[in-house]
């Protein structure tokens, strides 16, 4: 998740940083003010060499509640009301979702889908209004396809920062407090107008006394106290969801809350971001086609980060790349190669590689920005992923299922048969087409569709990887319409499969197929005694249950239940009607009217129940 993204600003069009003496004099007179927009006027130049981009959505109008969290007198009680109002409205809309009478006409899957999409858009807009904490929480929740419907996940993944910049005076106070010196002693020049503003901070261009051009990332004032208030309220919400009869079943909301807290506190620690940038630079130190800004550690603190100024062309500005004479097909391949290198070779990858975080230098090298959120794949996890890949290659649902359980992506249940059949169905459909014709986006959509409300629990790292692959596939197709990410990944997949113990001569031969089948048979034979013993243990403990379902018995039970409900409603109609009559005779007109209304409601419920019984009786 980016604290700041990149925007096309040419060096010629951007104003030169202001000398500190002149700047301090202007600031003292109060002439330097920042507008409510998150980008300065000069940051919208279409020239081909970008610096940094604010990812604000300039086309979306701001609501009247936007930025209330940024006001000086915004109280904790007001924040509590705003957050819980959103939660209660969400719960209300989810309650109405399954009520047929809440739809115009008959309820249908198409109308339900349209309502989910409207709800998803409303959630995204409300999270933007609630500010930095909820923007980041929403971005994290966009990785949880096992908890939220696909429409919610897709909409939350579009969350981008849309916040106002804060003033130069506030930025200067933070810099001087964090670095312990007046700003003119730290930098020769410092541009008072930020290049970009985001939910966690903003970026200013500056120049060191040594003459080096840098950018200074300054954290938003009051962010820590806002996080403390919001996270304390969110803990209460997590407890409520954990005890909710529907939403709490099978989900660890308190665990999700703890994970969100850990990630959010890490992301506002700029020293952690600097360490991530250094690690990323070291991993690509032997590659001249990747550039990463250098961190100036003597000008860094938890709330201020000074980075090398590396301008370039934003990777999604295709016309500018063409005008600069850069090979777009090569750039598409380099983007895929860079990410696969991070994931498979280093196990340390950029978790938010959207187009604003990647630029291209005039020489054709890729420039990566913003290392606030990085993913890490441990060696043991990579080994287990290898087992999953091999199971997919062999269409072995059992191997895939067992490796997913080992990875923690699948919760083991008493009856794994339906899960095994779902995995086998996906494998059969996935492998029907050649590998190079597969689409990452289509595969991830299929996985998210089966994950929702199922025992699949995809870790955030897995979802970050799938989203990054989808993003890079989209950028690659923009650069080269014939680009296919799966085809670009083929050499890396082959390298994995041909790892020690998987020789190239046997992989595509009959002997290789026979050896795999023999290995599978031997594994099953060796594991048979253990499986028999596990089954006997479950029998002794009473863990094995045999469920027999009779359709006729179920129908009779439902009919008996409906008849009982009809009798209850009939009794209520008689009681309320008699009460209304007696009250009317006693001249209690208003009370009699209320009793009459209740009798009418009970009568309508009675008629609906009788009609339902009749429809059930007519079924074959």
Rg (CA), the chain: 30
Q: Which phi-psi region, left, alpha or beta, contains residue 195 (left: φ > 0; alpha: ψ -120 to 50)?
A: alpha
Catalytic residue among 230, 352, 537, 543: 352
Q: Based on the number of CB atoms within 10 Å of its own CB, is 22 exposed (0-12), middle (13-18) or buried (19 or more)?
A: exposed
**What is the end-to-end Cα distance of the chain in Å, rounded?**
56
The three-class DSSP label of residue 190 is strand
Q: Using an 8 Å Cβ cutoff, are 231 and 261 in contact?
A: yes
Q: Hey, what are 46's tokens?
A: 């279409």
- Do 50 and 321 form a contact (C-beta atoms < 8 A)? no
The phi and psi torsions of 131 (rounded to 5 degrees) equal: 100, -170
Q: What are phi and psi of 295, to 5 degrees?
A: -90, 135
Contact status, residue 50 vs residue 313, Cβ threshold 8 Å: yes
Specify the DSSP element, H or E, that contains 313: strand 313-314
- Per-residue DSSP letter, 123: H
- Cα–Cα distance for residue pair 152/184, rounded to 1 Å: 47
- Tell me if residue 5 falls in helix, strand or coil: strand
The answer to whether 100 touches 107, Cβ cutoff 8 Å, is yes
* CA 276, 280, 282, 283 torsion-angle sign: positive
DSSP H or E segment with residue 20 = helix 20-28
Q: CA triplet 609, 610, 612: central angle to 5 degrees?
A: 65
Annotate 31-92 with DSSP letters as a single string: -----SSSS-GGGG---S----B----TTSPPPTTTTGGGSTT--HHHHHHHHHHHHHHHHH
Is 191 considered catalytic here? no
Question: Using H for helix, E for strand and C for coil, what is the string for 569-611?
Answer: HHHHHHHHHHHHHHHHHCCCHHHHHHHHHHHHHHHHHHHHHHH
* Residue 293, helix vs strand vs coil: coil
CA angle 159, 343, 419 (to 5 degrees): 75
Are residues 406 and 397 in contact, defined by beta-carbon separation less than 8 angstroms?
Answer: no
d(CA 553, CA 564): 17
Query: Which two three-digit tokens encode residue 403?
Result: 């490796």
Q: What's the distance, CA 380 to chain centroid?
A: 25
Residues catalogued as catalytic: 352
């Amino acid at each position: 998740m980016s604290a700041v993204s990149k925007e096309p600003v040419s060096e010629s069009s951007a104003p030169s940083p202001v000398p500190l003496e002149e700047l301090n004099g202007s600031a003292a007179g109060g002439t330097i003010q920042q507008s409510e927009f998150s980008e300065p006027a000069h940051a919208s130049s279409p020239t081909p060499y970008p610096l940094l981009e604010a990812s604000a959505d300039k086309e979306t109008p701001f609501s009247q509640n936007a930025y209330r969290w940024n006001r000086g007198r915004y109280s904790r009680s007001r924040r509590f009301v705003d957050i819980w109002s959103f939660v209660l409205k969400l719960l209300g809309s989810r309650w109405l979702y399954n009520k047929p009478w809440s739809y115009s006409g008959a309820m249908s899957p198409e109308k339900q889908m349209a309502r989910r999409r409207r709800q998803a858009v409303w959630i995204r807009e409300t999270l933007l209004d609630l500010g930095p904490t909820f923007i980041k929480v929403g971005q994290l929740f966009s990785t949880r396809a096992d908890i939220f419907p696909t429409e919610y996940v897709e909409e939350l993944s579009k969350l981008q920062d849309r916040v106002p910049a804060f003033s130069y005076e506030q930025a200067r106070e933070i810099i001087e407090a964090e670095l312990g010196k007046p700003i003119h002693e730290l930098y020769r020049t410092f541009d008072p107008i930020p290049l970009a503003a985001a939910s966690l901070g903003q970026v200013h261009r500056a120049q060191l006394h040594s003459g080096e051009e840098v950018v200074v990332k300054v954290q938003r004032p009051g962010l820590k106290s806002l996080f403390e208030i919001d996270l304390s309220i969110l803990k209460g919400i997590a407890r409520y969801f954990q005890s909710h009869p529907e939403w709490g079943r099978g989900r660890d909301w308190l665990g999700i809350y703890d994970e969100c807290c850990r990630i959010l506190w890490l992301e506002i620690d700029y020293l952690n971001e600097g360490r991530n940038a250094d690690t990323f630079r070291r991993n690509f130190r032997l590659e001249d086609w990747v550039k990463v800004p250098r961190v100036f550690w003597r000008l860094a603190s938890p709330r201020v980060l000074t980075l090398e100024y590396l301008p370039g062309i934003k990777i999604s500005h295709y016309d500018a790349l063409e005008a600069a004479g850069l090979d777009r097909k090569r750039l598409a391949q380099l983007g895929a190669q860079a990410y696969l290198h991070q994931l498979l070779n280093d196990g340390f990858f950029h978790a938010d590689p959207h187009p604003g975080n990647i630029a291209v230098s005039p020489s054709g090298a890729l420039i990566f920005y913003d290392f606030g959120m990085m993913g890490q794949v441990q060696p043991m996890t990579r080994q287990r992923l290898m087992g999953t890949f091999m199971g997919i290659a062999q269409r072995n649902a059992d191997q895939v299922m067992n490796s997913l359980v080992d990875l923690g992506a699948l919760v083991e249940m008493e009856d794994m048969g339906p899960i095994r059949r779902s995995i086998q169905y996906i494998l059969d459909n996935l492998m029907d087409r050649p590998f190079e014709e597969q689409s990452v986006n289509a595969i991830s959509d299929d996985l998210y569709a089966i994950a929702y409300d199922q025992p699949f629990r995809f870790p955030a790292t897995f979802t970050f990887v799938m989203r990054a692959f989808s993003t890079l596939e989209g950028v690659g197709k923009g650069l080269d319409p014939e680009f296919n990410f799966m085809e670009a990944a083929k050499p890396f997949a082959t390298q994995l499969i041909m790892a020690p113990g998987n020789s190239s001569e046997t992989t595509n031969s009959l002997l290789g197929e026979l050896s795999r089948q023999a290995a599978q048979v031997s594994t099953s034979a060796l594991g048979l005694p253990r499986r028999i013993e596990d089954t006997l243990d479950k029998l002794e403990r009473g863990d094995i249950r045999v469920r027999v379902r009779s359709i006729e018995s179920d129908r009779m039970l439902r009919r008996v239940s409906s008849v009982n409900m009809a009798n209850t409603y009939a009794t209520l109609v008689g009681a309320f009607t008699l009460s209304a009559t007696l009250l009317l005779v006693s001249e209690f007109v208003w009370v009699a009217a209320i009793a009459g209304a209740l009798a009418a409601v009970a009568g309508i419920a009675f008629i609906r129940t009788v009609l339902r019984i009749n429809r059930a009786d007519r079924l074959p």
